[in-house]
Amino acid sequence: DEADVELSSEQVDSEQTEDLEEDGLDELPPCNRRFGGNIHRSQTSVYLQEWNIPYEELQLEELVGKGRWGKVHRGRWHGEVAIRLVEVDGNNQEHLKLFKKEVMNYRQTRHDNVILFMGACMAPPHLAIITSFCRGMTLYTVVRERASLLDNNKTRQIAQDIVNGMSYLHAKGIIHKDLKSKNIFYDTNKVVITDFGLFGMSGVVQEGRRNSVLQIPRGWLFYLSSEIVRKMSPEEGENQLPFSKAADVYAFGTIWYELHTGLWPLEKLPVEAHLWLFGSGEGIRRELGRAHLGKEVTEILSACWSFHSADRATFTQLSDMLEKLPKLNRRLSHPGHFRKTQEP
């Protein structure tokens, strides 16, 4: 009946913990796995089966890259796709559950600025997430070459698109937890946000990193809000860190900074100094003081980088702030600052 189908994300969340094991994906022959049909199964397991892609239907092509959650390949499944092989131990029922829970998050996302989720391989040992393949550059590459690629109008449009995608995810109750310029693609004027939710799996990916060394990949720190930085320690699992909507907004602040400077804030600092400066709020004060980005840009940056998470703007508010920026004349705008140039 209708009411059963219209499960909210919270309801799915609480239900799936009991039912994930019973999805029966293992017992079904590949051709039936996707639409496996026991009508008495719970709604959750029906959802899971609808999104299951049998591994043998995929054609794996070249390795695109490897990040902390495993390898990403280009591949084919009814056209070109990105295949993220997830290194979760499928024999561990708890870990498998967590993987499927993340997949459930992807399932309910439909927005122009959010990556298209196509399905997942959920039958061990082949666990993978299948999305559309992004042909463009990552925003990281774009901002590093910004002088040739970005003008002020493009910069604002990109920011507005990210804010739209993020306010959509937040409205769905999804916290990204890994918002960064490398997880945003920019192709023919379109922005696509990827890799939300993967962080929820960080406790279970196999990398033998259960040792007492705090692993801080290059480029991760710059997006972490002060309350997260202060919680970082070798004892604390990454999945225990206090991620929140406000922490996503902080990360967007860093992207806003990158869009205007082409750099990460104080990116040359050694990690220890960064941890101290950004955990205490001093780093933000320094950056805001010396970046000279102009009043409007700095206002938005401060609204994202507020020391206390409760003081940060929401993505809905950021959308309004971006909308209200003074209109620029395309001809006069030049890459770099929002300085108002004089007519020559």
Closest CA to 154 of 190, 182, 112, 111: 190
Q: Give the residue with the Cβ less far from ligand ADP, 140 or 338.
A: 140
306 binds, among Mg ion, ligand ADP, none (CB under 5 to 8 A by kind): none
Interaction residues for Mg ion, span 195-254 (CB under 5 A): 195
Show the DSSP H helices in 55-138 as ranges.
93-107
149 binds, among Mg ion, ligand ADP, none (CB under 5 to 8 A by kind): none
- b/e map 105-133, b = 16+ CB within 10 Å: bbbebebebbbbbbbbbbbbeebbbbbbb
Q: Does 69 bind ligand ADP (CB under 6 A)?
A: yes
Q: Give the residue with the Cβ less far from Mg ion, 87 or 296.
A: 87
- Closest approach of Mg ion to the CB of residue 182, in Å: 6
- Closest approach of Mg ion to the CB of residue 3, in Å: 37
Alpha carbon separation from 336 to 137, 165, 222, 267 (Å, rounded): 20, 25, 21, 18
Active-site residue list? 178
- Closest approach of ligand ADP to the CB of residue 212, in Å: 24
DSSP state of 104: H
3-class SS at 191?
strand
133 binds, among ligand ADP, Mg ion, none (CB under 5 to 8 A by kind): ligand ADP
Interaction residues for ligand ADP, span 94-153 (CB under 6 A): 115, 131, 133-134, 138
Q: Does 47 bind ligand ADP (CB under 6 A)?
A: no
Phi and psi at residue 61, to the nearest 5°: -110, -150
Q: Does 67 bind ligand ADP (CB under 6 A)?
A: yes
Interaction residues for ligand ADP, span 181-200 (CB under 6 A): 182-183, 194-195
Q: Does 238 bind ligand ADP (CB under 6 A)?
A: no
Closest CA to 231 of 244, 218, 219, 51: 244
Q: Does 255 bind ligand ADP (CB under 6 A)?
A: no
Residue 215 CB coordination number (10 Å): 11
List of residues 6+ apart from 101 with CB closer than 8 A: 13, 16, 17, 20, 200
Q: Give the residue with the Cβ less far from ligand ADP, 46 or 115.
A: 115
The CB-nearest residue to ligand ADP is 67
Alpha carbon separation from 23 to 19, 46, 111 (Å, rounded): 7, 7, 28
Interaction residues for Mg ion, span 167-186 (CB under 5 A): 183
- Closest approach of ligand ADP to the CB of residue 177, in Å: 12
Residue 199 CB coordination number (10 Å): 19
Binding-site ranges for Mg ion (CB under 5 A): 183, 195
Binding-site ranges for ligand ADP (CB under 6 A): 64-67, 69, 72, 82, 115, 131, 133-134, 138, 182-183, 194-195
